[in-house]
């Protein structure tokens, strides 16, 4: 196994860095500061980082097939045009609650966007509101799953037939059978991370079908085989990494976002909230799936 290298990229210091995605067309990395309402776009060759302001909080984004991005905002979706720096509001999930907002999201293999909610400050016996929503090119978002306290890490197996989704509060990563237009099916536990001391946060899939998941409370990234076996861990130099995405010309660099000060977690390390690149892993990712607007 090759020796890995972890380096800080740029000088950004996000409150809650999230949702990294590699744009293979432009060879750029895009990610967000969820609480600041900022989209960052990095050119790794020059080190230049552009910044775009959007309404806060922003839970996640996915690239669009025609350029720009689809965003999950507090309780609805929006489209963002990077060239014009212009936001177009989209449909709402129909839930306006002060403690519920959209969180992590990904495009699916069929050009839709899936995003789940997080329900904070719940009473111990209170059922979480919201759930997992799927947005197509037109029409209202479709509710696919309920009873999710803090949804995170949505991603798909290389063949698109398995969908993974974590509930960070319950410290479980679920796996489902996934089809183009049908409901989620055959829900089962993929990994229970309780014994690891952390819930799972952002996640991605590599070209071998292994799932890379951030263990946000213990400063680690774990790689899980398709059968759920943990086969590798990486210790990050900061306390709270948040999400991961493979990028670079060969999709062999693992980009990692992190927290400096969110509502629940904080880290006084000088590099907390930074973007990191993990190199020398010896594995590659897959091209990012894109939202197709029509």
Give CA–CA dist 62/210, Å, rounded.
21
CA neighbor of 16 nearest in space, from 221, 197, 215, 240: 240
Residue-wise DSSP of 66-117 = TSSEEEE-SSEEEEEETTTTEEEEEEE-S---TTEEEEEEEE-TTS-EEEEE
Give CA–CA dist 175/157, Å, rounded.
10
* Residue 201 bears catalytic tag: yes
Residue from 14, 33, 108, 201 carrying the catalytic annotation: 201
Contact 19, 292 (CB under 8 A): no
Give CA–CA dist 103/19, Å, rounded.
9
Residue-wise DSSP of 193-225 = -GGGTS-EEEEEEBTTSPEEEEETTTTEEEEE-
C-alpha distance across the termini of the chain, in Å: 44
Active site members: 201
């Amino acid at each position: 196994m090759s020796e890995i290298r972890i380096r800080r990229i740029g000088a950004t210091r996000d409150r809650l860095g999230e949702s990294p995605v590699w744009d293979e067309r432009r060879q750029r990395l895009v990610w967000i500061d969820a609480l600041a309402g900022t989209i960052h776009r990095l050119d790794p060759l020059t080190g230049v980082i552009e910044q775009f302001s959007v309404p806060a909080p922003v839970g996640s984004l996915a690239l669009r097939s025609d350029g720009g991005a689809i965003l999950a905002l507090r309780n609805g979706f929006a489209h963002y045009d990077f060239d014009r720096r212009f936001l177009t509001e989209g449909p709402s999930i129909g839930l306006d609650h002060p403690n519920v907002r959209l969180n992590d999201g990904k495009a699916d293999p069929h050009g839709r966007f899936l995003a789940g909610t997080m329900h904070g400050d719940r009473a111990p016996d209170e059922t979480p509101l919201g759930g997992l929503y799927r947005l197509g090119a037109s029409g209202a978002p479709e509710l696919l799953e309920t009873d999710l306290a803090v949804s995170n890490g949505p991603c798909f197996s290389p063949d698109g037939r398995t969908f993974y989704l974590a509930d960070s509060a319950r410290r479980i990563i679920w796996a489902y059978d996934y089809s183009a237009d049908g409901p989620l099916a055959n829900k089962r536990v993929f990994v229970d991370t309780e014994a690891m001391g952390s819930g799972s946060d952002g996640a991605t899939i590599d070209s071998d079908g292994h799932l890379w998941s951030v263990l946000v409370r213990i400063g680690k990234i774990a790689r899980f085989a398709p059968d759920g076996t943990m086969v590798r861990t990486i210790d990050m130099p900061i306390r709270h990494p948040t999400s991961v995405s493979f990028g670079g010309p060969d999709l062999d660099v693992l980009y990692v976002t992190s927290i400096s000060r969110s509502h629940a977690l904080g880290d006084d390390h000088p590099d907390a909230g930074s973007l990191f690149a993990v190199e020398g892993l010896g594995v590659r990712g897959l091209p990012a799936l894109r939202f197709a607007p029509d």
